[in-house]
Amino acid sequence: MGSFVQVKDVYKRYRMGEVTITASDGVSFEIEKGEFAVIVGSSGAGKTTVLNILGGMDQCDEGTILVDGCEVSRYSPKELTEYRRFDIGFVFQFYNLVQNLTAKENVELATQICREPKDAETALREVGLAERMNNFPAQLSGGEQQRVSIARALAKNPKLLLCDEPTGALDSDTGKTILKLLQDTCRRDHMTVVVITHNHAITPMADRVITLKNSKVMDVRLNDHPTPVEEIEW
């Protein structure tokens, strides 16, 4: 048995008329179950491309993606839909909440379509929003809205939690509480968490740091003693 997540020689090209952009140029890395992994790189480095392929939102042109022993890269569109629905939790930079539903209804919307969901109230309590369940997104701060989106992702009981710049729209203190929440969840539930960032300051908190540059993996580093988020400054 190999690692929980295996990305092997992945290529993704976008053809735009005469020009071809190679957004993943032979990307390979592995992530172990229960790890807190950070994918870091500057804008355009190919971070979102590889995360979307890993989460079944996009498909690669070449290469292999294995998650929990399943070959995701060979999934049919129907299998990919089920994979996204049952196995993956997504957290986005701008939360992507439904504005005319309350926090609780936003979480329930996600749990209605999956197999063994957590109770929405439990999920919201776990992210510290017990008192705000009946608020609409517009009544919540950015950090609180991101907590709702994390509760929504975690209530699905996913195998893999994928977060694309989850702190990108937040100030640094709020960003730290969100990262701490993600890391605590990783430790408590043995959840495998992947966080994309362009902020190098975040990398000491990760178990594994995958650095992307020009659509390639530049470096993979393991931190034996990750730094608690509280001790990181940016």
Ligand X SMILES: Nc1ncnc2c1ncn2[C@@H]1O[C@H](COP(=O)(O)OP(=O)(O)OP(=O)(O)O)[C@@H](O)[C@H]1O
Segment holding 77, helix H or strand E: helix 77-86
In the complex, what is the shortest distance from the CB of residue 206 to ligand X, in angstroms, rounded to a whole number? 17
Which residue's CB is nearer to ligand X, number 21 or number 201? 21
List the single partner that 138 binds among Mg ion, ligand X, none, CB under 5 to 8 Å by kind: none
Which residue's CB is nearer to ligand X, number 17 or number 69? 17
CA distance 27 to 12: 9
Buried b (16+ CB within 10 A) or exposed e, 51-63: bbbbbbebebeeb
CA distance 29 to 183: 20
Hey, what are 97's tokens? 């909440």
List the single partner that 41 binds among Mg ion, ligand X, none, CB under 5 to 8 Å by kind: ligand X
List the single partner that 132 binds among Mg ion, ligand X, none, CB under 5 to 8 Å by kind: none
CA distance 144 to 219: 34
In the complex, what is the shortest distance from the CB of residue 161 to ligand X, in angstroms, rounded to a whole number? 18
CA distance 47 to 24: 9
Residues 13-52 that bind Mg ion (CB under 5 A): 48
In the complex, what is the shortest distance from the CB of residue 164 to Mg ion, in angstroms, rounded to a whole number? 6
- Contact call for residue 59 and Mg ion (CB under 5 A): no
Which residue's CB is nearer to Mg ion, number 57 or number 70? 57
List the single partner that 23 binds among ligand X, Mg ion, none, CB under 5 to 8 Å by kind: ligand X
Which residue's CB is nearer to ligand X, number 46 or number 137? 46
Q: Which residue has the tokens 């491309």?
A: 49
**191 with 126: CB under 8 angstroms?**
no
Q: Which residues bind ligand X (CB under 6 A)?
A: 14, 16, 21, 23, 41, 43-49, 198
Strand partners, 29: 7
In the complex, what is the shortest distance from the CB of residue 164 to ligand X, in angstroms, rounded to a whole number? 7
Backbone dihedral angles phi then psi of residue 222, each to the nearest 5 degrees: -105, 135
In the complex, what is the shortest distance from the CB of residue 47 to Mg ion, in angstroms, rounded to a whole number? 5
In the complex, what is the shortest distance from the CB of residue 198 to ligand X, in angstroms, rounded to a whole number? 5
Q: Give helix 172-189 / helix 142-154 axis angle, nearest 10°.
A: 20
Which residue's CB is nearer to ligand X, number 86 or number 92? 92
Q: Which residue has the tokens 């939690």?
A: 161
Which residue's CB is nearer to ligand X, number 26 or number 44? 44
Cβ-proximal residue to Mg ion, closest one: 48
